[in-house]
Structure 1
Amino acid sequence: MSRIISNKEIESCLSPHVGVDPSVRARLLSVLEILRVFSDENDGLTAKEIARIIGLRCGKEPSENTILDDLRTLSENPPFGMEIEPAFKGDKRGFRCVRRLISTDEAAVLVNLVKTCKYLSPDQRDSLSFKLMETMPRNKQDEVVESVYVDERQTNSSIDVFHAANVASRAIREKRSLSFKYASKRMNGTVSEYEVNDEDPVALIYSFGHYYLETYPSKEKNSEQRPKFRRLDHMKDVSIGGKMRNRLKVEELSRSVVRETSEKFDMFGDGECQTLFLRVKGSHAKYVYDAFGYDTKFEHIDEELAIGYVCLRVQLSPTFFRWLFGMAPNITLVRPQGLTWIRRFTGLSSCDEKKLVEIQDNYDEAIARIDEQIKVFGKAHGVFGRDFNKETADPSES
């Protein structure tokens, strides 16, 4: 059906300059903008309604025939990837913008992708979402707003991941090396950095929610040269250097990226969330931030021993246990040490005896699951009952 646009909609939805200039060129652009904002595949506007809107803006309403001529021109010469569908006799839907550079559904998908991208700062997300929403008809925008709840745990927003990716991609194309600073957050909130010079970039990888750059470092004395996997959200001040030093090795590694990625990267699963406490050595605090968010807060920090404790809500999934096994003994589960101890943690200041027992039960269940996982692992690999001091029998003797 064709629409009648209220004065309130006109003032709130149209830019102030639209329809103000009565010249032929400006009017043609105004007609296009009015259709873009107020019409879609199903609902359009009549020439009379468009003339009325322009008249309200410039003080002089153009004739209906003038607007019809503008609409025919636009339908015969579709601009900016748009398509204007003319209104035929008996068609009550009016003139409609039936195709645009980005469709309504595509814009909705892109808005939700931007809103859930953890590598953009909140301001960047809001700015990009607003620009994408502006490509949609106004009556469709409400269908997108608040359609996705965004987990607002903080990530390392001080580093521009996409800038690092663009520079790395250019270096790969031009077969040149990269230099950068590699940054990680300490338990006390400060950031440590060290210089990385002249590593040869192999490939950019996106795996389990993180961007990585595989690199091949320059030869170091008394060390075996192996590829490294750099997290892009730890890389800053990325710059391109000279020609690759190990071009043949880089080409060999690039052919194995697809095959080996699934073996090298992993991290959560599903299941019931539990409240657990981790004892963390200072050197491994960065891994807790990476896995559980940069707004994770440590308590009971002992600077002398370089340890601290963190309370987490996690799922007892195989991927969590795999992560925990890999971090031991630097990151381990601990049992809550009483009400005074537990009340230091965020959200637990009013913890009572009943809640403490419930949380201690979470720990006991996690330890039982770990013991179960270890037994399954040992059985699968023939570890239990195996005599490591006895030499392996010669298969030919059996």
Structure 2
Amino acid sequence: MTTDLRVLEASEWDSWFGTLERAFGGALSSAAEQREAWRSVTEYERSIGVRDGDEWVATAGAFTFGLTVPGGNVVSAAGVTMVSVAATHRRRGILTSMMRRQLDDVRSWGQPLALLTASEPAIYGRFGYGAGTRQLSAEIDTSRVSFRVPADDTGAQAVRLRFVELADALEPVESVYARLVATRPGMLERRPGWDRTMLIDPPEIREGASALQCVVARRGEGDGAETVGYALYRIKPEWDAAGPKGTVVIDQVAALDPVVYATMWRFLGEIDLTSTVSVSNLPVDDPFQFLVSDVRRANIRVRDSLYVRLVELGAALAARTYQAPVDVVFEVDDAFCPWNEGRWRLTGDEKGASCERTADAADLSLSVRELASMYLGDISPAALARAGLVRELRPGALAEASAAFVSPVAPWLPHGF
């Protein structure tokens, strides 16, 4: 087999993307509007593939994002995407060659982190990616569950809800999202154009539900009104002999303060002709869990979400802050990116950190994959140690690192890429 691994050219996008679609079992973007949205955000200089003769047989790309890390800093990161290998060309080292090229490129771009969402999580661990965030989903029986709204004793003006046409939703939605990015690790600072992809709503993707609807929450009147929250959702109607039992399918819900957030949830839970609220992606510490009258009838589930790869280990660990003072030496195994291997001293606290190479004795031994899972503060080093994946070499080092790495706000990826 003669193959050619190279950067994508704009004129080749259709055939390149077609290879990706076929690898995923059919049309990923059956609607022309959705397909064009993916084309519009493709960064050609960061997109690669493998050709066998005149045919694309593998694809991989990367988006430019900023990732919020514990402490509120936004760190430049490569959002790995559109990875595929044709079924006819498996087990020939093609994926490994693309991962090798891509991580070398990310390092040359000066980005200390790579990120991805995994269709098959078993694939990416061998390249040093670790599960860094989780997401919560729920099916809430609103015929039996109500939502409470806490008292608003701040003196703020009353919350007012209004429908907004989808064509006019971009500015209010993005204004709230942008203010929330720095408040939670795992959230993405998006490049221009990404905001529009969040509101694409062709009929082909609705799965029997209505067109996307938008409700915004505002405080104040007239020109002085401030947008403080929004909900994007669909209604999936259903009836039986007893009457209506439709579903509110939440796409996004966000707010700038607890009263507004609770108000949005109460609205969603009381929409006429519905008896279920369905949501597929919330933070694992989302406050709705404490607002429902019966959490068991929320049918909560949790699964893995964002996978993190430390490309430049020292820069990545120094970019975040730590909940408690920490001074530990890691012995890191990273066969795929050997520039990360060896001993690193991490010192830091809630004000800042440094991470430098050292010849000092190691306190903890682990692979870069485990370090990636710890990075955003969702997975404790102590939990990984109980699984035998982190070894304590100095008594007390595990407790020190565990107290330092935890995030008081659960990391969360708000949308895929």
- Give the TM-score range, shorter chain: under 0.3
The structure with higher relative contact order (CA 8 Å, sep 6+) is 2
Could you tell me the TM-score, scaled by structure 1's length?
0.24
Could you tell me the TM-score, scaled by structure 2's length?
0.23
Q: Considering fraction of residues, name the structure with more strand.
A: 2
Q: Considering fraction of residues, name the structure with more helix.
A: 1
